[in-house]
Chains A and B, each alone.
Chain A
Amino acid sequence: MKPKSNSFKSGFIDGIPIGLGYLSVSFSFGIQAHAMGIPILWTLLISMTNLTSAGQASGIGIIAAGGSFIEMALTQLIINSRYFLMSLSLSQKLEGGFTLPHRLAASFGITDEVFALASSKNHKLAPKYMYGLLCAPYIGWSLGTFLGAAAGNLLPDMISDALGIALYGMFIEIVVPPMKKNLRLLAVVSLAIAVSCALYYIPIFDFISSGFSIIISTVIASLFGALLFPVQTEDPDDE
C-alpha cells in the first residue's frame, strides 16, 4: 500500500537512497578522521552534531592542524553558508503546521541532498514528512562515520585510501551535473580551483592555512560569478 504523501512513512522511504549514499561517504569521512588521529567517539560526535560533509571534512583538517577557534567558525560559516539559501528556500515550502519548535528541530537536518529531495516535492511539507525524510540520512551518516573510524584501524592503507576518495566523489557529484548546461558555472568552478591551487603551490602563500585557503578561493570565485554572471531572480536552485 502506498503511504500518504505527507506522512512520516512516505518521508522515511524517500530518505533511504540518501541514507545509503551517506553510509559510504561518511565511512570515508570516518577513515579520514582516523588517519588524522582524531579518536573514534569524537569523530562520531562530530557527525551526529554537524551532519555536513564539506564542513566536517574541513573541520577535521583544522582540528588536526591545531587551528584557531576563529578559523574554525569562519570556515564553517563560509563552507556551510549554502545551507542559508537552502533553508530560506525551504521556508517558503513549509505547511501551516510547521510551528516554531518544528522549524527549530527540522532545520538541523538540512543537507544538500535532503534539500534537493524536499524541494522536488510538489506539495507543501509537513513536519511528520520532514522527520521521516531525515531518519535514514542521519542514521546512515552516523553509522557510516563510526564504522569508518573503527575500520580505519583494521583496513590496509591501500583500501582505506581508496575509500577515502568517496568523500570527494560526493563533492564532485554535486558540482559536475549542473555544469553540463551552465558554462558560467564552469568558469566559477575553474576560478575556484585555480585560486585554490595557487594558494597551495606558490611558496609565498605558505602561511595561509587550508581552512582560510578554502574561504579565500570560495569568496573570490563566487564574487567573480556574482559580478560577471548574476543569476536570474527567482530561486536559483529551482533551475
Chain B
Amino acid sequence: MNNYLIYILVMAGVTYLIRMLPLTLVKGKIKSQFIQSFIYYIPYAVLSAMTIPAIFYSTPELLPSVLGLTAAVVTAFFTRSLLGVAMCACAATLIGELIMLLF
C-alpha cells in the first residue's frame, strides 16, 4: 500500500521536474548541437523500444498483435489522427483474435 504511494511520488515528482525546470529556469537556448540532436532523437527511440517487442506479448497469440501493429503503422503513415490510429489498431487486433478462434 505504502509502496504504491512512494512509486507514484517518484514517478510524478521526476516527471514534473522535467517539465517544470526548463519552463521556469532556462532563459536561452541550448547551444550544443550534440545535446540538441541527442534530445531530438529520444522520443522516437524510446517509443520504438517500448513498443517492440513488448507489443507482441500483449495478446496471448502472436497474430492479433502483429495485425494490430501493422494496422497502426499503416494508419499512422497515411493519417495524423490519434483516435484513428488507436481505433484501427484495436479493430485489427480484434479481427486477429476472431481469426484465432477458428483454429
Contact = CB atoms under 8 A, between A and B. Distances in A.
B77 interface: yes
Nearest to A233: B33
Contacts of A236: 36-37, 39-40
Contact of B59 (A78, A107, A161, A177): A161
B27 to A, nearest CB: 8
Nearest to A113: B82
Given A42-B8, A112-B43, A174-B47, A226 B37 contact: yes
Interface of B: 3-4, 6-8, 10-12, 14-16, 18-24, 26-27, 29-30, 33-55, 58-60, 64-65, 68-69, 72-73, 75-77, 80-83, 85-91, 93-94, 97
Interface of A: 17-18, 20-22, 24-25, 28, 38-39, 42, 45-46, 49-52, 54-59, 62-63, 69, 72-73, 76-88, 90-92, 94, 100, 103-104, 106-108, 110, 112-113, 157-159, 161-166, 168-180, 185, 188-189, 191-193, 195-197, 200-201, 210, 213-214, 217-218, 221-223, 225-227, 229-231, 233, 236-237
5 cross-chain pairs, A with B, having the tightest CB-CB distances, nearest first: A21-B82, A217-B49, A169-B89, A49-B12, A87-B22
14 contacts: A56-B11, A76-B14, A76-B15, A78-B46, A84-B21, A88-B29, A158-B97, A161-B93, A162-B91, A162-B93, A188-B41, A214-B49, A222-B41, A230-B37
